[in-house]
Amino acid sequence: MSDQNIIDLEGRKPSYSWKKTVKGGILAVVLLIMLGIVLANVFIVKEGEYKVVRQFGEVVRTVEEPGLSFKIPFVQTVTTVPKYQMLYDEAEAEINTRDKKRMLIDNYVVWRVENPEAMISNLATIVNAEAKMSEFVFSVVRTELGQLNYDEIINDEKSSRGSLNDRVTERVNELLAKDNYGIVVTDVRMRRTDLPPENEQSVFTRMISERESTAQEYLSKGDSDKNTIIANTDREVRELIAKAEADADTIRGEGEGEAAKIYNESFSKDPEFYELYRTLESYKKTINGETVIVLPSNSPYARLLMGYME
């Protein structure tokens, strides 16, 4: 339409300045629309995140470096994927052990996105990634704990949980890698293992009974060891006493022999003194307060008693 055909509401032709204003306004609107389109298709990549660009649902590129980037308007979309490690708290679940005990387990998982393109292509969102990972973790934990008895799980002395966490982590990563989900589990930890409320009392009663039985075994073994030690000690004491008495008899015999030898040597030097000693020794054995001795007056024994030495 030419300027001559433009008329105002009153039938008058517009002035040149008015026409210029209309053109400027249209240009400004166009520029604003273009600026809006440009700004709507500029995205910022921050530290600790990936930006995955998709075109008609297909992943076309991944931007990892922080800064500004662009996408094609109306054709491409951008999805943000965290780079850092994330913590996923598993819901409490019930499993059966090898000895048919039911127990409640509570796990948490530390994980991260290793391949954002694979994760977006196969899982689409972080929520779906956590759901798939949780499914694998529960399946592996149920399988592993199903091969253990209940007391092996809860008893620290017999527990295999230290290596169990590593086995579960390794197995879950194998399943995730098999289907190329692009996520990696760093660690799986068992926070809590409990009995269902209806089973707690019966198991506690059984555990108390087992502990009492074990304590009684220790007491019985202690009494048996005590009796063995006492018997061995008594035997050793008897052996020591018998040996000491034998040694004493030997020493006593040697002393008596040595004394007899000394007596013989002494008495042989003075036979008369020996005769007197023997006589006095016989008096000690034959004469007491009730002894009656009848001797001739001229008997040497009588004379000796009466004090006559000649």
Name every residue whose Cβ is closer than 8 Å to that of residue 76 and which is 6 or more positions away in sequence: 41, 53, 54, 55, 60
Spell out the long-range contacts of 55-58 with Cβ–Cβ below 8 A and sequence spacing 24 or more: 58/121
Alpha-helical segments (H) within the chain: 16-40, 116-123, 126-145, 150-154, 161-178, 197-269, 271-286, 300-306
If residue 86 lies in a helix (H) or strand (E), which one and from where to where? strand 86-89
pTM: 0.52
**73, 53 contact by CB (below 8 A):** no
Structure tokens at 59: 């992943």
Mean pLDDT of each 10-residue bin along the chain, 310 residues long: 47 58 71 64 78 80 77 77 90 81 85 90 90 92 83 59 80 92 91 68 75 89 90 90 89 84 75 74 71 71 64
For Cα atoms 130, 132, 137, give the angle at the middle one, nearest 5 degrees. 90
Task: Check residue 222 and give left, alpha or beta (phi > 0: left; psi -120 to 50: alpha).
Answer: alpha
Q: In the prediction, which pLDDT does 170 show?
A: 92
Instruction: Look up residue 36 and give its two tokens.
Output: 């809006």
Q: Which residues pair with 51 in a beta bridge?
A: 63, 80
Q: What is the pLDDT of residue 87?
A: 93
Q: What is the set of domains in the chain, with CATH numbers? A: 3-82 (no CATH), 89-195 (3.30.479.30), 270-306 (no CATH)
Which single residue is written with the structure tokens 């240009």?
Answer: 27
Place of tokens 């694979």: 118
Spatial CB neighbours of 122, under 8 Å, sequence gap ≥ 6 = 179, 180, 181, 182
Q: How far apart are CA 67 and CA 65, in angstroms?
A: 6
